[in-house]
Amino acid sequence: MDQDRNLYKYIVGALMLIYIYSIFALNVIIPNKAFSESENRVLEQKPEFSIRKVLKGRYTLDYEKYISDQFPFREFFIGVKSDCERLMGKQENNGVYLGKNGYLMEEFKKPKLEEFKRKIENINSFADSNLNTNTNIYFMLVPNSVKILEQQLPLFAPVDDEFVYINKVKDSLHKNIKFVDIYNILNSKKDEYIYYKTDHHWTTKSAFYAYEELAKYMKFTPYLESDFHIKRVTDNFYGSLYSKSGFRHLSPDSIDIYIPKRNEDYIVKFYDKKKTSNSIYEMDNLNKKDKYTIFFGGNHPLIKINKNISNGRKLLVIKDSYANNLIPFLMGHFNEIYVMDLRYYNDNLSGFLKKQEIDDILILYNEKSFFEEESINKISW
């Protein structure tokens, strides 16, 4: 009996040693990865050793992160972990809920009162100090899928009500800012494919519905859906929530683009890349993990779109990435469109407005990023 126990201990010990040395060997043999396609983020690299870092405890923490990110077959084990948690009934991971019909939805938590007031005050201050009598300003706050598709959420998911804060923003803005209310139209279309299942963005169809509503406020006649060729460019899109949550074995999303049937000539200027293009689509990005960057190649500090329209109207869009698939619809109605992302734009906004003589300003954010991002406060600089 004692011999059997000792043999068992030796076998277990030997297996543990084999496992440890195998992992060590694999870490040495397998080159470090710089980027995780499935998680859509940069991975930790081996930290530089120094006595100072060791004494402060930073080296150990950084090395732990490095080992975690560069662990052999890491993505496989993430999938195994996710599958086990799903079997145990877990429906939330890293702030993302696994809903019905394969929908992943980010949680929404109400903003802190002081931060809410600060953002509204800065937007109101911007409108009061920078607009002349001929400039129109519009504000569109897009509800996320966690509100419009709340019937897809797991039962009793503890999320706050986005609709409440849409109305708070609407009631807090000065009257010279026209609030573009799209909640009702999106809610009426909730049975359609208006939000991606694995990504935090709305779909192009959803952006089209918002474009039709915006036309009522801006007083232009929108093009009909039949005026576009609707082209499906991929049906294998796994988005940001798929990366963030770790939930696997879900059906991919599809991405559609709306191409006008009318002849269109335009030039897009990317100020950060110092280049111009005759297309708003970066088709090569369909080969990347983040296929949503097909629109403009992703986010940029400032873009200028010149269109062969003789009305002379100039539009400035201050935005997050939700605007990227809506802007193509607006191109048929403005001679010039400037697209500004305050997360990356650091120049003086007032000076820009005076120089460009903008006719219309559209501020467009999705609700979650509006309340969580601080960059909107730069609007009053």
Q: Is the pLDDT of residue 137 over 60?
A: yes
pLDDT per position as a tens digit, 170-209: 999 999 999 999 999 999 999 999 999 999 999 999 999 9
Residue 348's pLDDT is: 86
Q: Is the pLDDT of residue 248 over 80?
A: yes
Q: Are residues 290 and 237 in contact, defined by beta-carbon separation less than 8 angstroms?
A: no
The Cα 122–Cα 348 span in angstroms is: 15
Find the mean pLDDT for residues 354-358. 88
Find the mean pLDDT for residues 136-147. 97
Q: Is the pLDDT of residue 155 over 80?
A: yes
Comparing 229 with 33, the larger pLDDT belongs to: 229
Beta carbons within 10 angstroms of residue 141's beta carbon: 24
Residue 354's pLDDT is: 83
pTM of the predicted model, to two decimals?
0.83
Find the mean pLDDT for residues 34-40. 50
The answer to which of 41-50, 246-255, 262-271, 322-331 has the lowest mean pLDDT is 41-50
Residue 218's pLDDT is: 97
Residue 104's pLDDT is: 97
Residue 181's pLDDT is: 97
Residue 336's pLDDT is: 95
Beta carbons within 10 angstroms of residue 357's beta carbon: 11
Q: Are residues 360 and 316 in contact, defined by beta-carbon separation less than 8 angstroms?
A: yes
What single-letter DSSP state applies at residue 60? Answer: H
Q: Is the pLDDT of residue 226 over 50?
A: yes
Give start and end residues of each alpha helix (H) in 221-276. Answer: 240-245
Comparing 295 with 264, the larger pLDDT belongs to: 295
Per the prediction, the chain carries an average pLDDT of: 87
**pLDDT tier at 33, thresholds 50, 70, 90:** low
Q: Is the pLDDT of residue 112 over 60?
A: yes
The answer to which of 77-86, 155-164, 205-214, 330-339 has the lowest mean pLDDT is 77-86
Q: Is the pLDDT of residue 291 over 80?
A: yes
Residue 3's pLDDT is: 61
- Residue tagged 């110092």 (tokens): 274
Comparing 336 with 89, the larger pLDDT belongs to: 336
Q: Is the pLDDT of residue 7 over 50?
A: yes
Burial profile 18-32: b = 16 or more Cβ within 10 angstroms, e = fewer: eeeeeeeeeeeeeee
Q: Which two tokens stand for residue 100?
A: 């019905």
Q: Is the pLDDT of residue 36 over 60?
A: no
Residue 11's pLDDT is: 67
